[in-house]
């Protein structure tokens, strides 16, 4: 990261130090979210629902109200919150094990209802917190502590592409996959996150931003090589881009 960005701490980040490993992308994404909350002026009405995973402490890292959901259930918790107080801004922050394995039901149905919430989805192709086991997003052939010879689809199925899958539903408003591996991608990721919050503020419905992220620790790679691995492997299977954008479709229809 370049030094200019790191200097000013966003108001929406608390004074508590991150607990993430060196080179882990969780921290970068936290910062982007905090900047977006600051820029949108919504700190005093935003509530985070943290997951179970390495980002379980996320609810303490932001200077906003927050809680931790049980593993995978953050979209249901956020639904309860949003239905109870529709004028608050609610976002979940979830890993790939949390969102795409144990919490598949909750994310599919929250998306399908078009819940007016924002979901930040960290795909690092592995269960970080529990020590690098296979995640639903683990690539074919990728070694993890529960697939030591590499993921074999015959035994362990195929990696799930969440953006592609959820964009098949009528319910969601905005779905985009981003990465934070380069400064340009970081800018793009921030723009996407911002739009995902703006959608909620404007009552437009469900937005999900998937962020391809590194887990140097469990991938067994130094941070720089981890980024390279992400670019050469993950990005091929998980192409970046906008998978669904009802706001744009509607705008187009309006022009026609």
Ligand X SMILES: Cc1ncc(C[n+]2csc(CCOP(=O)(O)OP(=O)(O)O)c2C)c(N)n1
> Of the candidates 25, 34, 63, 151, which one interacts with other proteins according to CB under 8 A?
63
Environment class of residue 99 by beta-carbon count within 10 Å: exposed (0-12), middle (13-18) or buried (19+)? buried
User: Is position 120 an interface residue for other proteins (rule: CB under 8 A)?
Assistant: no
* The one segment of 70-78, 117-125, 139-147, 223-231 that binds Mg ion by CB under 5 A: 117-125
> Any residues with CB less than 8 A from the CB of 144 and at least 6 apart, and which?
126, 127, 132, 133, 134, 135, 138, 151, 218
Residue 20 partner contact from ligand SF4, Mg ion, ligand X, none using kind-dependent CB cut-offs of 5 to 8 Å: ligand SF4
CA distance 225 to 51: 27
User: Is position 26 an interface residue for ligand SF4 (rule: CB under 6 A)?
Assistant: yes
What does 153-171 look like in DSSP terms, one character per residue?
HHHH-----HHHHHTTSSS
Residue 127 partner contact from other proteins, ligand X, ligand SF4, none using kind-dependent CB cut-offs of 5 to 8 Å: ligand X
CA distance 62 to 82: 19
User: Is position 142 an interface residue for Mg ion (rule: CB under 5 A)?
Assistant: no
User: Is position 234 an interface residue for ligand SF4 (rule: CB under 6 A)?
Assistant: no
CA distance 17 to 35: 17
- Per CB under 6 A, contacts with ligand SF4 among 125-144 are 128-129
As measured in angstroms, the least distance from the Cβ of 176 to ligand X is: 19
> Any residues with CB less than 8 A from the CB of 81 and at least 6 apart, and which?
47, 49, 88, 90
> Of the candidates 1, 5, 9, 70, which one interacts with other proteins according to CB under 8 A?
70
User: Is position 54 an interface residue for ligand X (rule: CB under 6 A)?
Assistant: yes
User: Is position 219 an interface residue for other proteins (rule: CB under 8 A)?
Assistant: no
Q: Which CB, 124 or 200, lies closer to Mg ion?
A: 124
Element (H, E) at 176: strand 174-179
Written as six digits, the tokens of 96 are 């790939």
> Of the candidates 33, 129, 209, 240, which one interacts with ligand X according to CB under 6 A?
129
Residues that bind ligand X (CB under 6 A): 52-55, 71, 95-98, 122, 124, 126-130, 135
């Amino acid at each position: 990261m370049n030094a200019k960005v790191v200097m000013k701490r966003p108001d929406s980040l608390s004074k508590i130090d991150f607990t993430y490993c060196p080179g882990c992308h969780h921290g970068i994404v936290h910062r982007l979210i905090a900047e977006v909350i600051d820029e949108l002026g919504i700190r005093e009405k935003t509530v985070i629902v943290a997951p179970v995973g390495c980002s379980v402490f996320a609810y303490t890292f932001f200077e906003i109200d927050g809680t931790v959901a049980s593993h995978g259930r953050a979209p249901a918790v956020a639904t309860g919150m949003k239905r109870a107080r529709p004028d608050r801004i609610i976002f979940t922050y979830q890993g790939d094990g949390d969102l795409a394995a144990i919490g598949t039901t909750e994310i599919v149905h929250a998306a399908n209802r078009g819940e007016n919430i924002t979901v930040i989805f960290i795909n690092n192709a592995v269960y970080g917190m529990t020590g690098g086991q296979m995640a639903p997003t683990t690539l074919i052939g990728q070694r993890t502590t529960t697939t030591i010879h590499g993921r074999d689809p015959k035994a362990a199925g195929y990696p799930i592409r969440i953006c592609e899958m959820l964009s098949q539903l009528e319910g969601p408003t905005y779905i985009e996959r981003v990465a934070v591996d380069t400064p340009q991608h970081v800018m793009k990721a921030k723009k996407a996150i911002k739009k995902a919050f703006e959608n909620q503020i404007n009552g437009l419905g469900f937005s999900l931003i998937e962020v391809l992220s590194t887990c140097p620790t469990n991938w067994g790679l130094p941070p720089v090589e981890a980024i390279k691995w992400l670019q050469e492997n993950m990005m091929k299977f998980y192409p970046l881009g906008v998978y669904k954008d009802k706001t744009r479709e509607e705008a187009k229809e309006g022009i026609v």
